[in-house]
Chain A
Amino acid sequence: GENVEQHPSTLSVQEGDSAVIKCTYSDSASNYFPWYKQELGKGPQLIIDIRSNVGEKKDQRIAVTLNKTAKHFSLHITETQPEDSAVYFCAASRTAGGTSYGKLTFGQGTILTVHP
């Protein structure tokens, strides 16, 4: 099955700096890669996702890049703010084919702390 590795496990930055979180996956058939943000006491909330036919996607201060050849994808947050502090999870999934269709495999999470 799919295996997703996420690094770093913790990341501390100053307000205004950029933050980068990286993930690698093992299943070459995976073609959907979402990123979730989880705040204390809440469920994971989707912040951005990318499909394998696209190499990069951006939404305001958040961007995701995908390298299918190397099987890795990254989350980039620019101009970080204290409210960006949370746990971030990457995940990978197939969007078609077999019983694993739609199942997300999550990375272990990154605790991001943005210091004012």
Chain B
Amino acid sequence: DARVTQTPRHKVTEMGQEVTMRCQPILGHNTVFWYRQTMMQGLELLAYFRNRAPLDDSGMPKDRFSAEMPDATLATLKIQPSEPRDSAVYFCASGNYQPQHFGDGTRLSIL
């Protein structure tokens, strides 16, 4: 089965450091989503792209977060500078509109 691949699976770093998370969507999917999951807020949509163009990033703190799709096989989510409140699991999902298929996430811990 085709899968969404996310790297790294785990990341521990100190406050203030830059963090980059990567996602390889399923080949042929035209939409890529970034979500953040925490116990308190549940699953929150941060940003999404369609045909590599950003459609909506209203869920993202824009002063420190940025999302890009340099090509159809790679989506990136960057945090600079990172803060302890950014600790969460970050998921990427892809689809042709619906349904969305999720990767297994990057578990991020900011000390």
Known: A43-B91, A103-B45, A106-B43. A32 touches B105 (CB 8 A): no
Q: Is the interface of A mostly helix, strand, loop or mixed?
A: loop
Residue pair B98, A89 in contact (C-beta under 8 Å): no
Residue pair B45, A42 in contact (C-beta under 8 Å): no
Known: A34-B98, A43-B102, A43-B104. A103 touches B48 (CB 8 A): yes
Known: A102-B31, A103-B48. A46 touches B104 (CB 8 A): no
Residue pair A44, B102 in contact (C-beta under 8 Å): yes
Those of A11-34 within 8 Å (CB) of chain B: 32, 34
Q: For the complex, give the distance between the alpha carbons of A76 and B105 in Å.
A: 27
Q: For the complex, give the distance between the alpha carbons of A45 and B50 in Å.
A: 21
Residue pair A45, B102 in contact (C-beta under 8 Å): yes
> B14 interface residue, CB < 8 Å from A?
no
Q: For the complex, give the distance between the alpha carbons of A49 and B95 in Å.
A: 14
Q: For the complex, give the distance between the alpha carbons of A105 and B99 in Å.
A: 13
Q: For the complex, give the distance between the alpha carbons of A108 and B48 in Å.
A: 21
Cβ contacts under 8 Å, B33 to chain A: 104
Q: Which residues of A contact B (CB under 8 A)?
A: 32, 34, 36, 41-46, 49, 89, 93, 95, 99-109
Given contacts A44-B43, A44-B102, A99-B55, 8 further A-B contacts (CB under 8 A): A42-B104, A43-B91, A46-B99, A46-B101, A49-B98, A93-B98, A95-B98, A103-B48
Q: Which residues of B contact A (CB under 8 A)?
A: 4, 31, 33, 42-43, 45, 48, 50, 55-56, 91, 93, 95, 97-105
